[in-house]
Structure 1
Amino acid sequence: FGAFSALVYGSVAIGGWVGDKVIGTKRTITLGAVVLTVGYALLGLSAMANFGGESLIYVAMGFITMGNGLFKANPSSLLAKVYDDGDARLDGAFTMYYMAVNLGSFFSMLLTPWIAEKMGYDIAFGVSAVGLIITVINFMMCSKMVKDVGSEPDLTPVNKKHYLGVVIGAIALSFVSAILLQHLFYAHAILVVVGCSIVFLYLKEAFSISGLERAKMLVAFVLMLQGVVFFVLYFQMPTSLNFFAIHNIEHNIFGISVQPEQFQALNPFWIMIASPILAMMYNNMGERFAMPYKFAMGMVLCSLSFLVLTFGAKFANAQGIMSSNWLIICYGFQSIGELLVSGLGLAMVAQLVPQRMMGFAMGMWFLTSATAAVVAGWVATLTTAPAGITDSHQTLTIYSDVFAKIGYSTAAIAVLTLLIAPKLTRIIRGETQAATEQATA
């Protein structure tokens, strides 16, 4: 999972660059969705009486990797271009966009395990492919709404040679990804090379300019580093928290029986509840609740999300099983923290990075997820119960101890982010530069 996530998010910067400079944001969105459709269709075929064997599974995952890479950064880049620089509505718009994404996630997380159990995984993956086909048709039908919005290539006739080159490149890289998924060392090594190259290009661009524009880009870089820490915690949901739900949480919510995997639907559920409230709060508070403070508060809530499980472990029953209410609270804290960090990460990039490199910078934001995916996989191994241990009391001790370490470590980082938030806010507002100019005048 760590290698797959790393390749997905590591390829997003490439997709952002393609949208910015090569074929346009809107065309890249459509192409990415088509490549994703192929990936899920192949995954459905592989699940059909083991058609194609293990090799087809890896090829399917390769197409899903590249489809995500092309798609993921570009809808947010397109949204950012709808608003003028400095528009106070941007944070609220990205929060509602994030809610819309999680609305789909909520229903898919509830339906997919049920479809897979009742009808088989081939049908579940087939439904995913059909959903993506509907997405492509819907986007093409609604494209007139944003006909005057997009990157520079969007506003000119398509260059057929460039488009064909991107298609061939996407197919080739899909097969390369399939190979890398079978060789984790090389996948991680390439991620390191790609990551370092992207960071180098970003910092090179930042230091090639001066004044407030450079300062904002450097603040964005600091906030991206905070994002890495957040995403390490975020990726515990499909790993550590999932296994914890299997071993140590009662499998019902308010008396309704659920499968352990369905607890993940609590994440988009909380996001749907909290998003409109936070969007209104952002619009009302404006600059009084600046981006660095939002990131810092997100880290505080993420810390609490793990500490609440450590505290709840003290109230486990005689069988070592905890009430699902503790996991509901945990997901609540983490989901609101997610809205403050991940949900606003794209808005942060839109605010602080020049329009000319918006898609690339959006991709770099997603690269924080790729970096975190590798670290998160290592953290998840710490919570995995050793082979042969199935006793709930033993797994409860393992999980609660590691969650305590994660929670307290995150709390320390949260305090640090709160301490530097005032300085970063002054830099963003240009107050530091103004004071320097006044002192030298």
Structure 2
Amino acid sequence: MEQVLSEEQKVSIFTQPKPFYLIFFIEFWERFGFYATQGILARYFVEALGFSQEKSFATFGAFSALVYGLVVAGGFLGDKILGTKRTIVLGTIVLAIGYFLMAFSSTSTIFLALGVICTGNGLFKANPSSLLSKCYGKNDPRIHGAFTLYYMAVNIGSFIALILSPTIAQYFGWNEAFLLSGIGLIIALVNYFAMRKTVANVGSPADEEKLHLGKLGVVVIAVIGVCFLCQFFLQHLVVAHTFLWLVTLGTVGFFIKEMMKEDLASRKKMLVALVLMVEAIIFFTLYQQMPTSLNFFAIYNVNNHILGFNINPQTFQSLNPFWIILLSPLLAMAYSKFSLEGRDLSVASKFALGMTLCGISFSLLYFAKFFADSQGLVSSGWIVASYFFQSAGELLISALGVAMVAELVPERIMGFIMGMWFLTSAIAGVTGGILASFTAVPETSVVNKFHTLAVYTNTFGKIGVITLIIAIVMWIFVPKINKYISGK
């Protein structure tokens, strides 16, 4: 049955159901913890553990791949076994343990701590968005605005974390910065239990079943095993990559199997979802450059003296969530306005536009080298502008990707498909690490700022051109994809 909305609900993106606010805040705190660690991890590998830049990027890529590769399993647990809400709680607890292990770890235990974080994120990540999708009726015009605001929660958390974490690491130490992540997850857990009544009637069918302690015990034992398995993978990257591709093949195979159960119109929509996921992999490969190659570019070749202050160059990463926070409500209101007027861009058009903006963001950085000062440093304005275009592209691809999944696939496999969407980030973790390795320079070259400037800007320029070519191809296929979505 279609949901009947009042006139106020039709025009206001801030009029959302009560469960939205619980999900908004728990996602905020979980992302706060995650980005507080991610923002400093690649540099931590180099400066604290003595990794080369190339090894740092490869390890970071494997960590990112495992973080998102396990999301499919978390979505399945939420759909079929524990229930969405119980899986959220379990994932939050495991994540908190992982971050506290990071805060008190040594070089011999760091990979176990990262393995626990990968497992906890896998349990958690798919389920809040799956829960949110169940709060809206069919054809509810608020859904694009809701998922855009939900995405803003992610970026408010990461914005604060990416300012605090590098600063704490600089003045107090790495372990103290990791402790910040653990505190964020404890707050997320308290927040959930304080507001859990608002989601009492929302969830997957498994949420409605009584909790079976034996089943929970099996899940906990499996979670512990996966933590140690992730530790092994992070220490053996070739094995980790092989595991990822096997998971990807199995996931795509299951997706195709489920797609063939549907009628022709539904199969076409699911095929569009698969195509857009491939396009998302390309975007997330670019996104992975923020904590890796773009981060080190800011450290070595961007002037960090702003308004009389020397800021930690790693905090330039906070420009991404800053622009997301600024642009999210504007885009959400635009979606609502254009949707009511019948002039909204299709999902395929938004993806193509987002990829175009990402191509511009990297192409810009190529020209920065022509304006470097006598020390080989470029103005921070270049990276501010680059982050603006990439963040705008992110809102059109990453934020709407989740809403796209909610619209194009059957509700019966919603949790699994949400997990599959996050698998695109896992694949991009590996491809992003490989791409970042083209900017890796030996420590002996770091002192030569003009050498590092040439390496970074030339690589970014090539990335920009290739991305713009991909965007043109996407624009060409927009009409065909629109027909598939409409069922014509």
TM-score (norm 1): 0.94
**Compared CA separation, residues 80 and 258, structure 1 to 2 (3 A):** same
Pair 1:312 & 2:368 matched: yes
Query: Percent same amino acid at aligned positions?
Result: 50
| Aligned position for 1:379 | 435
Deviations 1:52-83 (A, max 9, x none): x3232111111100000000111111111111
State the secondary structure of the residue aligned to 1:55: coil
Task: Decide which of 68, 71, 83 is 1:12's aligned counterpart.
Answer: 71
- Equivalent residue in structure 1 for 2:204, among 132, 141, 151: 151
**1:176 matched residue in structure 2:** 229
Q: 1:271 is matched with which residue: 314, 324, 342?
A: 324
Corresponding position of 1:408: 465
Query: Residues 55-70 of structure 1 correspond to what in structure 2 (within 5 A)?
Result: 55-70=108-123
SS at match of 2:80: helix
> For residue 475 of structure 2, what is the amino acid of its counterpart?
L
RMSD: 1.2
What is the aligned length? 425
Q: CA deviation at 1:333?
A: 0.5
Q: How far apart are the structure 2 equivalents of 1:19 and 1:292?
A: 29
Gap regions ≥5 residues in structure 2: 1-59
Residue of structure 2 aligned with 1:166, choices 219, 229, 252 = 219
Determine if the alignment matches structure 1 residue 328 to structure 2 residue 384: yes
Q: Distance in 2 between matches of 1:33 and 1:213?
A: 35
The 1:111–1:364 alpha-carbon spacing in structure 2 relative to 1, beyond 3 Å, is: same
In the alignment, the residues of structure 1 paired with residue 368 and residue 443 of structure 2 have an alpha-carbon distance, to the nearest angstrom, of 25
User: One-letter code of the match for 1:308?
Assistant: L
Q: What corresponds to 1:438 in structure 2?
A: none
- Is residue 367 from structure 1 mapped to residue 420 from structure 2 by the alignment? no
Q: Residue 436 of structure 1 corresponds to which residue in structure 2?
A: none
Cα distance in 2, alignment partners of residues 384 and 22 from structure 1 = 44
Which aligned pairs between 1:327-346 and structure 2 lie closer than 5 A? 327-346=383-402
| Unaligned segments of structure 1, at least 5 residues | 47-52, 433-441
Change (3 A) 1:191 1:96: same
Q: Deviation per CA, 1:295-325, whole angstroms, max 9, x where unpaired?
A: 1111001000001111222211222211000
The separation in 1 between residues aligned to 2:84 and 2:369, in whole angstroms, is 48
Distance in 1 (CA, whole Å) between partners of 2:367 and 2:218 is 55
Partner residue of 1:94?
A: 147
Structure 2 counterpart of 1:16, one-letter code: G
Query: Which segment drifts farther, 156-165 or 222-231?
Result: 156-165
Q: How many angstroms apart in 2 are the aligned matches of 1:351 and 1:175?
A: 37
1:412-431 Cα deviation digits (max 9, x unpaired): 0001111111211121122x
Q: What does residue 88 of structure 2 align with?
A: 29
AA aligned to 2:376 is: G
Counterpart-to-counterpart distance in 2, 1:210 and 1:18:
27
Q: How does 1:226-241 map to 2 (within 5 A)?
A: 226-241=279-294
Moved over 6 A (4+): none
TM-score (norm 2): 0.85
Query: What amino acid sits opposite 2:382 in the alignment?
Result: W
Q: Is the 8 A contact 1:10 1:366 kept in 2?
A: yes
CA offsets per residue over residues 151-187 of structure 1, 9 Å max, x none?
A: 1111222222222221111111001101111011111
2:476 to 402, 415, 419: 419
Displacement of 1:257 after TM fit?
2.0
**Which residues in structure 2 correspond to 1:61-80 (within 5 Å)?**
61-80=114-133
Letter in 2 for 1:361: I
Aligned with 2:108: secondary structure? helix
Structure 2 match to 1:292: 348
SS at match of 1:149: coil
Deviation string, structure 1 residues 339-371 (Cα, Å, up to 9, x no partner): 111111111111111111111111111111111
Distance 1:166 1:185, change over 3 A: same
Equivalents in 2 of 1:256, 1:425: separation in Å?
A: 50
1:34-63 Cα shifts (integer Å, max 9, x gaps): 0000001111111xxxxxx32321111111
- Residue 22 of structure 2 corresponds to which residue in structure 1? none
Corresponding residue SS for 1:82? coil
1:251 aligns with 2:325: no
**Mapped contact 1:253–1:325 kept (Cα < 8 A):** no
Which of residues 120, 125, 132 is equivalent to 2:178? 125
Equivalent in the alignment of 2:27: none
Q: SS of the residue aligned with 2:107? A: helix
